[in-house]
Amino acid sequence: MKPGGNGSATISTNLQTNNQGAGSTQPTTYPNPSWTSTSGTVATDVDGVYNVFANQTFPTIASPTVQSGQFTVSSMLTVAASQPIAGSVVPRGQTTTISVAVSTVSGPDTSATVYANTPSNGRVFLPEIGVGVYSVNYPVSYSDSLGSWTIIAQASDNQKNSGASSPVTVTIVKNDLIVYSLSTYNSKGSPTTNFSPGDTIYASFKIRYSSSSSSSELTSGQYYVSLRNPSGALVANMTASYDPLLSAFYTSTGYPISNFESGGNWNVVISANSLDDGNGNTGPVLSVSVPVQIVTSPLTYWPFVVAGIVAVLGGIVTVKRFDTSLEGFQHLEQMMGGPLPRGASILLLGLLPAELSQQTSTVCTMYSRIRRFRLLHPRQCRVASSPLVQC
């Protein structure tokens, strides 16, 4: 008799006994064609406990049931996977749908417990979304292992039926990092792309995964931002870390512009694939840059050039040794009442040759006052081959 009154069947067999009434029947199996159905089908097509009764039919006795027994039928569940499709590619940060249909020999199983393995060999349970259909959207994390992910769904029910799906293999790939909102600031915190000597360049930017959700923002790690001059040469690498107040990565140290930097178009650059979140997700695919203009004024360095030129021109003065001088120094000697003392030095810087004699007379006039107190041995006045008049 089948479970729940779903059918019954009978079979007749002879019992051979000896003179003492002892004997046995030949073994029989169920189901087989020798069984006769009284209701339902002759098959183990219903899960559950089957009851077996051995009745004596001849000679007739008051209690015909001489023996009884039971056996349990638990079918292998059929688990058919429909998603994902084998060979598909799943990027980190994306979701993939796992769907299976579960059935027994008698039809869809609506009481099964179904789960599938995750990339890290954990379990994700599939709720029933239809008659015998179980499904879940699994979010592949940014740290799930890269490469092949073989998915097998397991099902079981309260009748101790169980089954598993055929393996479905997909490939997990990295999620690219995208850099955006790259901008530059000065030391006042104002966004700008124009800088001058004395200013400091700061950079700010944001990073997200290629999935477009706002929760995919990267908020940890330290990354380099390159500064390149007009010739493309690397000038400095600035380190950026995440600033929660700005909700962005920021180079807190910056790069100071000196007076000797070359002017023109510079670039703040985040090189291709220079970022890594620590799980193998890298980016950006292409370099990201923002141009900045370094404006240098000639006044910042021309004073030094002019001073050097004047110093050289002022030193091109040649005179003869002892008791002779250039024209113009005679006035100096007349004002002092004789030649200047040996060893005395007067520094004249930045004088053009045309102005030298006039300025020398003025300075030596001042010296004549000192001479009254320091009358030394015979004097000699000469101009050295540098912007220095020695008396």
In the predicted structure, residue 318 carries a pLDDT above the cut 90:
no
pLDDT digits (tens, 9 = 90+) for 42-86: 877 777 888 998 887 777 776 777 788 888 877 788 999 999 999
What are the tens digits of pLDDT across the range 108-151?
Answer: 999 999 999 999 999 999 999 999 999 999 999 999 999 999 99
Burial 108-130 (b: 16+ CB within 10 A, else e): ebeebebbbbbbeeeebebebee
Q: What is the pLDDT of residue 300?
A: 52
Where is average pLDDT lowest: 74-78, 88-92, 105-109, 320-324? 320-324
Burial class (CB in 10 A: 0-12, 13-18, 19+), 177: buried
Range scoring the smallest mean pLDDT among 174-178, 187-191, 262-266, 337-341: 337-341
Structure tokens at 168: 């479905």
* Cα(80)–Cα(60) distance, integer angstroms: 53
Which one has a higher pLDDT value, 106 or 235? 235
Please report the domains of the chain, with CATH numbers, ordered by start residue.
Answer: 3-73 (no CATH), 78-173 (2.60.40.10), 177-296 (2.60.40.1930), 303-390 (no CATH)
Residue 276 burial (C-beta neighbours within 10 Å; 0-12, 13-18, 19+): middle
SS3 of residue 10 by DSSP: strand
Q: What is the residue-wise DSSP string for 127-151? A: -EEETTEEEEEEEPPTTSPSEEEEE
Mean pLDDT (the chain) is: 80
